[in-house]
Amino acid sequence: MSANHFEDVRVVNNVRVEGVACSMPEKVCEVSDLAGKFGEENIQKIMASTGVFRRHVVDGECSSDLCVAAAERLIEDLAVDRASIDTLIFVSQTHDHTLPATACILQERLKLSVGVAAFDVALGCSGYVYGLWLASSLIAGGGSRRVMLLVGDTISKIVSEEDRSVAALFGDAGSATLLQYDETAQPMSFVLGTDGRGAKNLIVPAGGFRDRSGSASEISEPELRGPFDLFMNGAEIFAFTLARVPSLVKALHESRQDMGLAIDHYVFHQANKFMLEHLAKRMKLPREKVLLDLENVGNTSCTSIPLALSLAGLEQDNRVTGLMMLAGFGVGYSWAGCIIDYDKVWVSPMTYTGVSKEPV
């Protein structure tokens, strides 16, 4: 594979997505409530641009709690034998601890076999598609037979309430996706890429081992954002997205031309309304095929793709069928896209941490 062309397509065979479940916190924060802090006119502009009107945010829960709720729902709905799950992957930027790996804790909480392979992956906006690629590659290579992929973030915990660029944008959610070996499954096509030159444009500078005390941060602003808070350079993120995503989508389209198949739905990382609508227009994608579902949940980082799919109302009898293009892009810089044939994939009703009710 060439080192300079991120458009290279990686194909994985003999893997089927069995089901998807998502979970959100019960607590809801209205964006309009921030008008007293940032001004009514500014908040109206933010809502119009981002498309976010309210967000579900944790009230003490961690990403792992949200993922456990989703996983338990999926296991129950599909009557999964826990002993059949041989691999557990946890994708998140908001882990429970510096160590041990949260996946180890999740193995015990979900009562999976001690023979399960469990590990963490630290990725954000592209994390769900990267997780699908990693899980499906393990299965296709014979190293695993059934993988539980848990993807979740609680970004609200690292956002300064005084930072207008992010305070009204991020929500929290968790997801569970079950994949297994199936020699009759249609091939999955993946495009993956990384450009670490953009790392500084979406970052929490302190708290890791590079700067544990927060003393060396260069992007802190008094009374706005501290070294342990999320910093986002929105203009640079937008420019990166416009530069990378169209080529990613083009490569995936070209990879499936020989099969004569049309994409039924495009499920992109739910960054913000303006960005997604601009991308759809620029790439001349049918607007009705591009899922957009930020209004009641916000940008939920690595969980946004499965969450958008779960909220879209595409399923009949809790099952979704169709050819899906998924694409995540952002923090890192990192990007990942795939085409997956959803063959009656189970989608569980939304679960709320601590409360069971219908979605907002």
Establish if 360 belongs to a structural domain. Answer: no
Establish if 291 belongs to a structural domain. Answer: yes
Establish if 156 belongs to a structural domain. Answer: yes
This prediction has a pTM of 0.93
- Residue 91's pLDDT is 98
Establish if 302 belongs to a structural domain. Answer: yes
Reduced 3-state DSSP string for the chain: CCCCCCCCCEEECCEEEEEEEEEEECCEEEHHHHHHHHCHHHHHHHHHHHCCCEEECCCCCCHHHHHHHHHHHHHHHCCCCHHHCCEEEEECCCCCCCCCCHHHHHHHHCCCCCCCEEEEECCCCCHHHHHHHHHHHHHHCCCCCEEEEEEEEEHHHHCCCCCCCCCCCECEEEEEEEEEECCCCCCEEEEEEECHHHHHHEECCCCCCCCCCCCCCCCCECCCECCCCCEECHHHHHHHHHHHHHHHHHHHHHHCHHHCCCCCEEEECCCCHHHHHHHHHHCCCCHHHECCCCCCCCECHHHHHHHHHHHCCCCECCEEEEEEEEEEEECCCEEEEEEEEEEEEEECCCEEECECCCCC
Domain span holding position 155: 10-353
- Residue 304's pLDDT is 97
Distances (CA, A) of 196 to 141, 157, 202, 333: 28, 24, 11, 6
Residue 45 φ then ψ, to 5°: -65, -40
Contact 307, 300 (CB under 8 A): yes
Number of domains in the chain: 1
- Residue 7's pLDDT is 64
Establish if 4 belongs to a structural domain. Answer: no
Distances (CA, A) of 343 to 65, 314, 347: 29, 13, 12
- Active-site amino acid positions: 125, 269, 299
Tokens encoding 11: 């194909």
Residue 134: which residues within 8 A CB-CB, separation 6 or more? 89, 121
Digit-coded pLDDT (tens) for 250-261: 999 988 776 556
What is the domain-level CATH number for residue 31?
3.40.47.10
Establish if 308 belongs to a structural domain. Answer: yes
Digit-coded pLDDT (tens) for 166-220: 999 999 999 999 999 999 999 999 999 999 999 999 999 988 898 888 886 777 7
Q: Which of 237, 262, 242, 243 is nearest to 252 (CA)?
A: 262
Establish if 359 belongs to a structural domain. Answer: no
Contact 151, 28 (CB under 8 A): no
Residues lower than pLDDT 70 in the chain: 1-7, 216, 258-261, 354-360
- Residue 220's pLDDT is 76
Establish if 3 belongs to a structural domain. Answer: no
- Cα torsion 212, 217, 222, 224 to 10°: value is -80
Tokens encoding 248: 């990613």
